[in-house]
Structure 1
Amino acid sequence: MYGILPYAFGAILALLVTASGITATLIRLHPTRNYTSVKLRIQTWWWLASLLFFSLGFHRTVAVVVLAVLSFMAFKEFISLIPTRPIDNSVLLLAYLAIPVQYLWVSMAWYGMFIIFIPVYVFLLLPLRMVINGETKGFVRAVGTIHWGLMTTVFSISHVAYLLALPAHAGAHGEVRGEMLVFYLLVLTQLNDVAQFLWGKLLGRHQVAPKVSPNKTVEGLVGGIITTTLLAWLMGPWFTPLSPLYSLLAGVLISLFGFTGDVVISAVKRDIGVKDAGRLLPGHGGILDRLDSLTYTAPLFFHFVYYFYY
């Protein structure tokens, strides 16, 4: 484990212990109130934090495999939600096989193939396989939804894994490695969701996208942007090679596009007619519900850092 990461993990542990203690106290003080949702959310955060510690605390190959499994599960959730044609089972098999191949390029640090495999080669392969099947009814919808699902749940998320493949870079407080960049991205993305939720509950009056996500407010969005940008600026010198100005810009990017990823996936679920993508994570929904913000922040943060420092 590198540099400041053990201390950062300790800080997250302290936050979770504090949140669990506050929740237990509230339950004792107000036994008639229902805190089930909050309790389930915190329990799930314990599992997610443990997964983060396990993934980044061992060899980076472990982290790549974990991310590949998460992509697989998120894509599986997506496919389970959308209507698919029985004749496309062979196409779906190719789509699933593309997941380990995409993460193979990550493990090889083959940037050229990583960046074009799904957007170009899989994009060309899937409709070809559909043509061989010979069914034209529903063709456009089928090929569009399957490839969009791969782009969202696999290609976008694989950018988190490729951060691990980036070479070490000098930072303000020592050497910066990929594990530190991943920690920075994941923590800020998730804290941004929490900050926007809390600010929205406290001050929210004006809806941002009432037809897509009625609970999202302008006040929550602005509060989340300010909170996340401040945290990005504070954490930047310790976890990234970013200058103070670029740390601020990274905070704005993560907060603004984390919100965008959230509402885009909300629009998908609203179109399909479901509240959550799954039930795997108590209090949160499914894997896709927890990765929704990351589908936007991961590729954008990766290319932001890659362009300026690699």
Structure 2
Amino acid sequence: MATVVLVVLGIASSVAHYFTRTPNPSINPAMVQRFVHRLWAWWLMFAILIAGLFLHRIGTIVLFGLVSFWAFREFITMTPTRRGDHRALFWSLVVFTPLQYVLIALSGWSFQGKTLDLYGIYSIMIPVYASLFIPARIAMAGDHKRFLERSAQIQAGLLVCVYCLSFAPALLDLKLLTMDGKPWTGSNAGLLFFFVLISQISDVFQWAWSRIKG
């Protein structure tokens, strides 16, 4: 399956390279550029897909943590912020983002004969504790202008770019059962592969349909 995806992306990249080097008057150059940008995103998703197959559990978690940090940082650069938001942004990027992935990495470890299950912590840390801390920290800065809007923007970015994305590597710890009800003893890397593959196919069809139907 990974080979098929690699071949399709290779063909698409060759087509994009051809149209970039030899412009066609019947094709909008802006659409070609958007297609090239989409290809970069698809290659990134494919790299994550391969990482889920070949990297160890910790390596996969670190990779997704870096992607979350990059995505949240890009989200913030496109979001209007004020000086009073800087401390809250620091806590969001430097504390809550890595802490979310550290908790996922520690979950499932054995310590003194006991297996750590931190799902109850990392499943509520950002939507509950971080969502309470961020507006409180902004309020402490004393800048009340558009307070609710600024707080909601940071909270939304943290939820989408960090919290939601962090549950992809958490799939590696999901307790699965076989068809006869017995615990699955194999690797969950295939489940992560399937998740990223479906996300990539969804993005491809969404982009293609929007180009066809406008």
Q: Please say whether Structure 1 and Structure 2 have the same fold, judged by a TM-score greater than 0.5.
A: yes
Residue of structure 1 aligned with 2:2, choices 3, 9, 20: 9
CA contact (8 A) 2:76 2:154 kept: yes
The answer to whether the aligner puts 1:113 opposite 2:138 as a matched pair is no
Query: Larger RCO: Structure 1 or Structure 2 (Cα < 8 Å, ≥ 6 residues apart)?
Result: 2
Provide closer, same or farther for how the CA distance between residues 195 and 58 of structure 1 changes in structure 2, counting only shifts above 3 A.
same
Q: Which moved more, 1:175-184 or 1:43-52?
A: 43-52
Give the equivalent residue in structure 1 for 2:138. 130
How far residue 132 of structure 1 moved from its aligned partner, in angstroms, is 2.3
Distance 1:61 1:19 in 2: 32
Residue type at the aligned position of 2:101: Y
Structure 1 segment 101-180 matched on structure 2, within 5 A: 101-109=99-107, 110-170=118-178, 177-180=187-190
How far residue 65 of structure 1 moved from its aligned partner, in angstroms, is 0.7
The answer to whether the aligner puts 1:92 opposite 2:89 as a matched pair is yes
- TM value normalised by structure 2: 0.76
How far residue 136 of structure 1 moved from its aligned partner, in angstroms, is 2.0
What percentage of residue pairs aligned between the two structures are identical?
28
Give the equivalent residue in structure 1 for 2:112. none
Superposed CA RMSD = 2.9
CA contact (8 A) 1:168 1:177 kept: no
Provide closer, same or farther for how the CA distance between residues 43 and 200 of structure 1 changes in structure 2, counting only shifts above 3 A.
closer
How far residue 53 of structure 1 moved from its aligned partner, in angstroms, is 1.6
Residue of structure 1 aligned with 2:63, choices 66, 75, 93: 66
CA contact (8 A) 2:50 2:193 kept: no
Distance 2:92 2:205 in 1: 35
Structure 1 segment 8-27 matched on structure 2, within 5 A: 8-20=1-13
Distance 2:52 2:2 in 1: 12
CA contact (8 A) 2:173 2:188 kept: yes
How many residues were matched structurally? 194
CA contact (8 A) 2:49 2:197 kept: no
How far residue 51 of structure 1 moved from its aligned partner, in angstroms, is 4.3
Residue type at the aligned position of 1:160: A
SS of 2:175 mapped into structure 1 = coil
Provide closer, same or farther for how the CA distance between residues 180 and 141 of structure 1 changes in structure 2, counting only shifts above 3 A.
same
Residue type at the aligned position of 2:205: A
How far residue 89 of structure 1 moved from its aligned partner, in angstroms, is 1.1
CA contact (8 A) 1:166 1:177 kept: no
Residue type at the aligned position of 1:154: V
- TM value normalised by structure 1: 0.55
Provide closer, same or farther for how the CA distance between residues 58 and 134 of structure 1 changes in structure 2, counting only shifts above 3 A.
same
Residue type at the aligned position of 2:152: G
Residue type at the aligned position of 2:151: V
